[in-house]
Amino acid sequence: MAGDLVKILCASTNDIESSQDDPVAVRVAETTILPPSSEAFVPCFTDGDHDAPLMLTTQDDRLFDKSLMVTPAVINTGRASILVANPTSKPEALYKGKHISSAVPLYRCSSTLCTTWSDQHRPFIGKVIPSPSTIHDISPRIVALSHAEVTDDQREQLAALFYEFRDRISTDSYDLGSYEDSEIVIKTTTNSPPTRFRPPRIPVKFQKELDEHINKLLRAGRIVESDTPWVHNTVLVKKKNGSLRVCLDFRPLNDVTIPDHYPLPRIEDILAKIAGHKYYTTLDLASGYMQLLLSPESQEKCGWVTHRGIYQFVYLPFGLKNAGAYFSRAMSRILAGLESNCLAYLDDIIIFDPDFPSHLLSLRKVFHRFRTFNIKASGKKLTEIARSHITFLGHEISGSVYSPADRNIRAIQDFPTPTTIKAVKGFVGMANFFRKFIANFASIASPLYALFKDKATFVWGIEQEEAFQRLKHLLTSKPCLAFPQDKEFFLHTDGSQNAVGAALFQNSSQDDHQLVAVGYFSKALSDSQQKWSPTHIELFAIISALRFFKATIYGNHTTVFSDHRPLTFLLKHNKTHDNLTRWVVELQSYDVTIEYLKGSSNVVADALSRAANPQVRFQDDTPDADDIIEFPVSINSVFTPAFPKQPTLCCLGPPKAIHPYDALVEQKRDPFCSALFTFISSQRFPDDLTDEQKRNWITIAEHCVVRKNGCLYYSNPPRPSTSFKFDRLVVPEKLKEPVFLAFHSSPSAGGHFNWKKTLAKISRKYFWPHMVEDIFALVRACDACQRKRPNRTNQELLLPVTSGAIFDKVYVDLTGPLHITEGGNRYILAMIVHFSKYVIACPLPDCSAITVARAILNECILKFGVMTQLVSDNASYFKGDVIESIGRFLRINRYFCTPYHHEGNGACERVFATFHPMLRIYISENQLDWDQYVSACTFMYNTSVHTSINNTPFFLVFGRDPVFNIDLLIQHDSQRQTLSFDESQLYLQNLVASLHAAWRAAARFNATRREAYKRQYDRTHLAPLSIKVGDLVYLRNLAPSVGLSQKLAFPWLGQFRVIEVNPPHLTIISVSSPQSVPKKVHMNQVKLCNLLSGPVFTTPWLPEVEDLALSAAGATDQPIDGYNHTVIAQPTPASSPDDSAPHSYYPRSRSRRTSL
């Protein structure tokens, strides 16, 4: 078709020589619809007549905006069919006459760079002749060449190809390309920079290495010096080899970044397309993100504060929220048109072909695109070249067969045969999780259930082994094991003393409320790892599982469930233990949310964590930080608060009874209780205790006793009302949470009472050190308690409103619907001039936008002139297109009050408060004539002295007092007479002078009254809030759901995050729905959210080693005034969160106060 019309270029357009000829426009000849994820030939023509062949050079920028890609081509006769690729997920139209590219005469181009379309489909035409020296030069850089499943001759051709494109293969971390086809724009919800933090102190021994890193980035052009206010802190991570890794904490920027939901292809579709080929090669870009150019405004948002000053990134740095979306969009443009033999899933690029010549040609095309767009591949990550069997996206591909990788199900396949009843229960509990997907589950598992009978001896026979193997097979096949879909993942993790385990789930395609497994993971801990603290092990379980399933979860949000609640607090702190820092940084490179899950609900991960063979030990294969943050999807890791917004299983239902044997087991496992047991039996202190700690230790230990059931109790002195002692169970760390939730949150014994009552309940039967501080902090941070308290604890200072001239500022509002009159009116529209307090009011038949706009125009603007400012509430009739058009045409500044804050339009509110009693006096009992008295009430109001201006509004507008009918009856008004011309001029001068004097007097009097009212208001107001950007707040529930009782609704909604502060207003956005529209509210409508500042429970006195580790992890003791732990009697701290000051703003007796 195009053998003599189109010639495809294999070389970059950068080789075009300079030309004196102007470029020729290339346009679409016929309207063409490009289907999604496809390519098509589009008929095109050139402007004018051209005898010489033309070559396409630059593509139209508007096509780039649509992610369309035009293939370089040569046009011989003025018309040609140009190949255009549409890699997006929606159809795109190219209309007739649309400009898509520009062309220049071909004779200006190097003819040696052109090959015909048919030449492109020849097996291989090498531009570099293979030689032994070629392989010798390239082999050390690309080790995978020696593992390619090809002949020696084919290996030489591969070496020649890589040698030819050696400039596209990175030699080190700073040898990067520069993709400048389209700049990356970081869109944020605010243009105000986040709160600046003090730069962290850099240890002297690391400053030299940090300086070298900065200098290399400067030489590579990745950063430049800057004075941007958008700065982010440096996080230094020590690698296992002792060197330094420099990371940045972009969480402040990610919190205000608008999500970019660029679509990703379905994994199942990708695997189905690439299966059935013989040769596979995978490529990875060298620091791919750092090759994408940022727009100038986005560069300013990526600031970096160091000990040498402030720098900003020129190219996309690691750790940004939408980095994965930006990178995916760029790869779609770069590889557009090559989808038949090359696919990219985020940073994973795979080239696949049925034979070697085609594979060599596909590699050439891909590297040619790399050269065209000036990007580079990573040499050290070229590990799979021309292989027939490959693992891609967590699946093994060989020929036409693809299946989940063995490692995804190896944890179940290698599940050891149970040797105890407890082990059998763990396995059956895990299998029972998938009971809905296993037909005849009860029948299959019955031999295992038989072992649970009372007085049954443990005998593992043939029936039990068959049931065990049958269940393992069912758990690793459909429908229990599902194919990963392009939607959210759920990762359940757990760690034990011997191993870590995890299970990856997704919602079932048939039932969104049912989870199906995608893969399993289990790994034994080494001897050194077994000595880690529980926090280390649980965090290691999460990190190991995320690495294991990285290819599967990449690009999708993942919710991680762990039964170790302290992780959600540890990861909020900037300072963590050195051993945890690199894991915290690594975790930020995933789009994850960490949530707490009770251990009894985490059966699958718990069984896997105990299933790994403890005799098998693994060396620590944790990768260095270079590998873990190479391509972060998102640093926007969201951690749930200590108390969920909605009731969960942990706070519903009766508390589980604690059997003495269960309590004893947990006490033996708990370090603090175990140390007390040792002290009671041998009077031996724990190691590494200071003298102060020993004195504190004796204070508790002297009251502890061991009872007949073997449990440890705290024996209190006799109560005043009794003559006997009472014992309280010493609660180990693991049982503190269920005890607290049982007495505070559960519907049977809780009730969400204040901390004093909660403490009184718990302390009657249970004891642990620092329980007063713990319960005080937990109740204070309880989300439900904060939302249920009706009192407001803050009130902003009064901000008086001023106006400088008559009709400068006009307030407008509507009251109604009232009883419909005989004239058909139901509403009253009132406008009040702020300076003179002059009121304009009229009845209206309805509240449509057109009716309201007509009344404002006819009754105010056309009678008194155009106002400067028009203030109203946010009702739809004040925001209609008609009134907006009038405002734009007359240059009226529109201002809208904060929703549910009537003080913003208090002037109109006060007028209606006066109008309603006035109308009530004059109208008839049937209320059918109230509209006949609106004008009269308006006149009476305007002719009465207003206390804020010490004059009548009528006089300040017209410069005279009105003539009343009584004046005519008494005939005392001597001024009503005919005046001559000279007398008229003198009267006019006196009128203007007196009017100006009245205005000045009114302004002075009004200012005095404003100051007096402000002093009185501020003297009785509650303390104002100190709110900054980033704080969490609750919003008063002013509009409860329709159909629900207001008395039973929560008075506060939340939580919300503050994204802008402009006193007295805030802009907030929902934490649970960050994509929702931000709200502008008044500061009187919110209250601060109390959060825990450290671990849930305060640690007791421990040996110095553990104490230092906890301090490094952010655990701190929070003392309370008036409390001394050595005093055993019930303490009474100074203040309670519920004992707030009485509220002066009582709704039934409050006086209306006006402030905007």
Which has more pLDDT, 120 or 432?
432
Both tokens of 3, joined, read 């053998």
**Boundary residue ending a domain (989, 1012, 1045):** 989
In-domain check, residue 383? yes
CATH code for the domain in which residue 1069 is found: 2.30.30
Task: Count Cβ atoms below 10 Å from residue 453 Cβ, excluding itself.
Answer: 7
Question: 848 and 977 share a domain?
Answer: yes
CATH code for the domain in which residue 333 is found: 3.10.10.10
Q: How far apart are CA 957 and CA 946, in angstroms?
A: 13
Give me the pLDDT at residue 293, please. 92
Give the DSSP letter of residue 650.
Answer: G
Question: 288 and 341 share a domain?
Answer: yes
Both tokens of 892, joined, read 């009226």
Instruction: Please calculate the CA angle 739-744-748 and round it to the nearest 5 degrees.
Output: 90
Does residue 241 have a pLDDT over 60?
A: no
Is there a contact between 524 and 609 (Cβ–Cβ < 8 Å)? no
CATH code for the domain in which residue 678 is found: 1.10.340.70
Nearest to 773 by CA among 761, 783, 781: 781
Give me the pLDDT at residue 166, please. 84
pTM of the model: 0.39
Question: 561 and 454 share a domain?
Answer: yes
Task: Count Cβ atoms below 10 Å from residue 407 Cβ, excluding itself.
Answer: 15
Give the DSSP letter of residue 263.
Answer: -
Find all residues with CB under 8 Å of 1078, minimum gap 6, and list them.
189, 1059, 1060, 1067, 1068, 1069
Q: What is the mean pLDDT of residues 530-557?
A: 82
User: Residue 429: in which H helix or E strand, if any?
Assistant: helix 421-432
Give me the pLDDT at residue 952, please. 78
pLDDT tens per residue across span 548-559: 787 678 767 888
In-domain check, residue 957? yes
Question: 814 and 772 share a domain?
Answer: no
Read off the pLDDT band of 294 (50, 70, 90). very high
**What beta strand segments (E) does 122-219 contain?**
169-170, 179-184
In-domain check, residue 1074? yes
Is there a contact between 391 and 403 (Cβ–Cβ < 8 Å)? no
The percent of residues above 90 in pLDDT, for the chain, comes to: 1
Q: What is the mean pLDDT of residues 820-828?
A: 85
Q: Is 870 helix (H, G, I), strand (E, B) or coil?
A: strand
Q: How far apart are CA 595 and CA 592, in angstroms?
A: 10
In-domain check, residue 1152? no
Which has more pLDDT, 847 or 1074?
847
Q: Is 415 exposed, middle or buried (0-12, 13-18, 19+ CB in 10 A)?
A: buried
CATH code for the domain in which residue 460 is found: 3.30.420.10
Question: 323 and 439 share a domain?
Answer: no
Q: Which residues pair with 277 in a beta bridge?
A: 399
Does residue 1103 have a pLDDT over 50?
A: no
**Boundary residue ending a domain (367, 399, 431):** 399
Does residue 794 have a pLDDT over 80?
A: no
pLDDT tens per residue across span 660-680: 447 888 888 888 888 888 888
Question: 457 and 542 share a domain?
Answer: yes
Does residue 1106 have a pLDDT over 50?
A: no
Domain holding 944, by residue range, is 809-989
Read off the pLDDT band of 224 (50, 70, 90). very high
Number of structural domains found in the chain: 6
Q: What is the mean pLDDT of residues 983-1011?
A: 63
Is there a contact between 160 and 363 (Cβ–Cβ < 8 Å)? no
Find all residues with CB under 8 Å of 527, minimum gap 6, and list them.
617
Question: 502 and 600 share a domain?
Answer: yes
Give me the pLDDT at residue 498, please. 74
Does residue 250 have a pLDDT over 50?
A: yes
Find all residues with CB under 8 Å of 250, minimum gap 6, and list them.
232, 302, 317, 319, 320, 321, 635
Nearest to 506 by CA among 494, 519, 496: 519
Is there a contact between 570 and 1114 (Cβ–Cβ < 8 Å)? yes
In-domain check, residue 1014? no
Does residue 632 have a pLDDT over 50?
A: no
Q: Is 153 exposed, middle or buried (0-12, 13-18, 19+ CB in 10 A)?
A: exposed
From residue 936, alpha-carbon distances to 548, 552, 839, 840, 941 in Å are 81, 76, 12, 11, 9
Is there a contact between 773 and 780 (Cβ–Cβ < 8 Å)? no
From residue 804, alpha-carbon distances to 836, 960, 1005 in Å are 11, 21, 14
pLDDT tens per residue across span 921-941: 777 777 778 888 888 888 878
Find all residues with CB under 8 Å of 257, minimum gap 6, and list them.
186, 187, 188, 189, 320, 321, 322, 636
CA dihedral 717, 719, 720, 724 (to 10 degrees): -90
Which has more pLDDT, 490 or 901?
490
Find all residues with CB under 8 Å of 41, minimum gap 6, and list them.
1, 2, 81, 82, 83, 84
Question: 411 and 372 share a domain?
Answer: no
Both tokens of 1078, joined, read 């931000």
Question: 938 and 1069 share a domain?
Answer: no
Q: What is the mean pLDDT of residues 499-527?
A: 77
From residue 255, alpha-carbon distances to 186, 317, 555 in Å are 12, 16, 18
Question: 962 and 861 share a domain?
Answer: yes
Q: What is the mean pLDDT of residues 398-408?
A: 61
pLDDT tens per residue across span 300-354: 989 888 888 889 999 988 778 788 788 888 888 888 888 888 988 777 788 998 8
Both tokens of 343, joined, read 């696919």
Q: How far apart are CA 1129 and CA 718, in angstroms?
A: 11
Read off the pLDDT band of 229 (50, 70, 90). confident
In-domain check, residue 252? yes
Give the DSSP letter of residue 102.
Answer: E
Question: 736 and 837 share a domain?
Answer: no
Read off the pLDDT band of 1110 (50, 70, 90). very low
Give the DSSP letter of residue 399.
Answer: B
Q: How far apart are CA 426 and CA 605, in angstroms?
A: 10
Query: Which ranges in 248-355 belong to alpha helices (H)?
Result: 251-255, 267-274, 296-301, 323-334
**Boundary residue ending a domain (360, 375, 399):** 399
CATH code for the domain in which residue 81 is found: 2.70.40.10
Query: Tokens 């308690």, residue?
Result: 785
In-domain check, residue 55? yes
Question: 478 and 452 share a domain?
Answer: yes
Q: How far apart are CA 377 and CA 50, in angstroms?
A: 40
pLDDT tens per residue across span 39-68: 788 888 888 777 677 877 777 777 766 778
In-domain check, residue 6? no
Does residue 403 have a pLDDT over 70?
A: no
Does residue 642 have a pLDDT over 80?
A: no
User: Which of 936-945, 1099-1108, 1141-1150 bottoms out in mean pLDDT, i.e. has the lowest?
Assistant: 1141-1150
User: Which of 111-125, 367-381, 920-934 bottoms out in mean pLDDT, i.e. has the lowest?
Assistant: 111-125
